[in-house]
Structure 1
Amino acid sequence: MEEVYEFLKKCGTYYLATVEGDQPRVRPFGTVDIFEGKLYIQTGKSKAVSKQIQANPKVEICAYADGKWLRLTGKLVRDDRVEAKKHLLDNYPELQSMYSPEDDNTEVLYFDEATAVFYSFTEQPRIIKF
């Protein structure tokens, strides 16, 4: 999982895919954190992406850097604890003007049943499950 975290941090921007009804939805994301041994991302509960995840928690992330790419699939689980929100926001101070660990909008989610596959044109795919 640490390798997945490091790759996503290195990319800066990754793309999160959700489903809305029968329509895929993809958007850029940039937050990633490890808290209590789990890989987290962050969004706002008021956003469509949050509603899509709550309706169907199966998501996929795609990220690319230096000729390699990552596809990360799994279920996202909401963690409403202030400690989890604070940990993530402490690592992204630029978000603290929009989000707070104590507000009703900040949402942090961790991956459950995750499968990460690293790809490149020169190596065999490598799988990490966590």
Structure 2
Amino acid sequence: MKKIIIPALLLAACMTSCCSNCDPNKCPAQTKAEEPAAVVSVDPVSYQSQNPAEMREVYDFLKACQTYYIATVDGDQPRVRPFGTINIFEGKLYIQTGHKKKVAKQIAANPKVEICAFDGKAWVRVEATLVEDTRIEAKKSMLDAYPQLRSMYDEKDENTAVYFMTNAKADFNSFGDAVRTVNF
């Protein structure tokens, strides 16, 4: 159900004239908070980026920055934290975290995220829907790209979580230049 924002006077009029005996499912004063996004079901084997060259450009930028910031939602509160893992596997752009972390729980509740990185001159902002890939091969590819994580993660453990991006859009920005948007 979508949130409805009602001016205060209209809300007051509704509450005094109808809310004592109206249907709470139809009354704007009784609207519920927006429900979390549904879990996205995408086959990790068959899904491919729609624009591999643009995906590679985003990957190269994030990889060069080394650290990017990912935003999720925790209830109605945005949460942002630094990440460093980015990997291409089977034509998809992946990130990695641990199931024990709050970020994994937030992604499970709402897989829509935004990522932002700055290289000192330009920045990219990526919006995407993440899909978890539970295959050992996907986890192994990520951990092979970041061997320093093997002290905390293993492709066969229950904690390692890798996600690939779907419905992704990236805006490349710099001071003074027009925004350039790519979809992948």
CA RMSD of aligned residues (A): 0.5
- Among 108, 111, 134, the alignment partner of 1:57 is 111
Structure 1 residue 53 displacement after superposition: 0.2
Deviation at 1:123, TM superposition (A): 1.4
Match of 1:16 among 57, 60, 70: 70
Give me the TM-score of the superposition, normalised by structure 1: 0.99
The alignment-based identity, stated in percent, is 61
SS in 2 for 1:3: helix
User: Which contiguous aligned blocks of 4+ residues in structure 1 show a shift greater than 6 angstroms?
Assistant: none
**1:66: Cα distance to partner?**
3.2
1:66-97 superposed Cα distances (whole Å, 9 cap, x missing partner)? 31000000100000000000001000010011
Which ranges in structure 2 are unaligned for 5 or more consecutive residues?
A: 1-54
Q: Which has the higher helix share?
A: 2
Counterpart CA distance in 2 for 1:92 and 1:74 is 22
Matches of 2:107 and 2:124 in 1, distance apart?
20
- Paired with 1:56 and 1:44, the residues of 2 have a C-alpha distance of 16
Partners of 2:120 and 2:61 in 1: CA distance: 10
User: What does residue 125 of structure 1 align with?
Assistant: 179
Name the one with the larger strand percent: 1
2:158 to 104, 114, 124: 104
Query: How far does the alpha carbon of each residue in 1:16-40 deviate from its partner, in whole angstroms, 9 at most, with x for none?
Result: 0000000000000000000011000
Other-structure match for 2:148: 94
CA offsets 1:96-122 (integer angstroms, 9 cap, x no match): 110000000000000000000100012
Task: Determine the C-alpha separation between the residues in 2 that align with 1:106 and 1:128.
Answer: 29
Between the two structures, name the one with larger relative contact order (CA 8 Å, sep ≥ 6).
1
Larger Rg over CA atoms: 2
Correspondence for 1:80: 134
The amino acid that maps onto 1:96 is: R
Helix, strand or coil at the partner of 1:96: helix
- The number of aligned residues is 130
Asked if 1:44 corresponds to 2:98, the answer is yes
Query: What is the TM-score with the length of structure 2 in the denominator?
Result: 0.70
Q: Which amino acid aligns with 1:72?
A: V
